[in-house]
Amino acid sequence: MKKKESDSTTVSQRMKHFSMQYLAHHPLCIKFKNHVFIIGPLFLCVGCTSVLLGFISFTILFFILQENFLARPLTIALVATCGVIIALVQLLVKPNNKWIKALFRLSLGIGLGSFTGLIVLAPHWGLKIGLFLFLFPSVYLYNVLRGPSPYEGCQDCSIKFSEPTCDLNIFTE
């Protein structure tokens, strides 16, 4: 009995292909090398990973120190504001270094985590709902400012025609 090709792929290979498609979600070529973290077999988007890490970290910190933040609500509002402003600066600076980009996006995650803390601390349900609803246009605007999909430039890319860099080999060079 002949085995299917998919039966012979290892868990590591499946994780690698899944992460390349869904967690990295950027073209895997030299132009986007600074958009992807490679951790073992996993390919992760620098921006999404950093935002999520900042959000989770601050949210955990918020719930551990909730009494302190409750006594100083302006502190959490300041953290939220600074986090988002720093993230907007990244849109103007457009750093090429993935670690600098990760720090900017980490600040966005911290800002979103502290904004979530503001929602939790809000004294009235009307204010809680208003702050929560404010998130949707804010996230939409940020994504509009970031620009179009990175795949839009792939069709006319000069690198693709001169050498086969749109594969995993460029990440091991």
3-state per-residue secondary structure call for 12-74: HHHHHHHHHHHHHCCCCCHHHHHHEEEECCEEEEHHHHHHHHHHHHHHHHHHHCHHHHHHCHH
Average confidence score pLDDT of the chain: 76
Q: Which residue has the higher pLDDT, 54 or 157?
A: 54
Can you give the pLDDT at residue 57?
Answer: 92
Can you give the pLDDT at residue 148?
Answer: 65
Q: Is the Cβ–Cβ distance between 86 and 144 less than 8 Å?
A: no
Name the percent of the chain lying above pLDDT 70. Answer: 71
pLDDT tens column, 101-134: 889 889 888 888 888 888 888 888 888 888 888 8
Ordered by start, the domain boundaries in the chain are 47-164
Can you give the pLDDT at residue 150?
Answer: 67
Name the percent of the chain lying above pLDDT 90. Answer: 3
- pTM of the shown model: 0.73
Confidence tier at 56 by pLDDT (50, 70, 90): very high
Rounded Cα gap, residues 16 and 91, in angstroms: 29
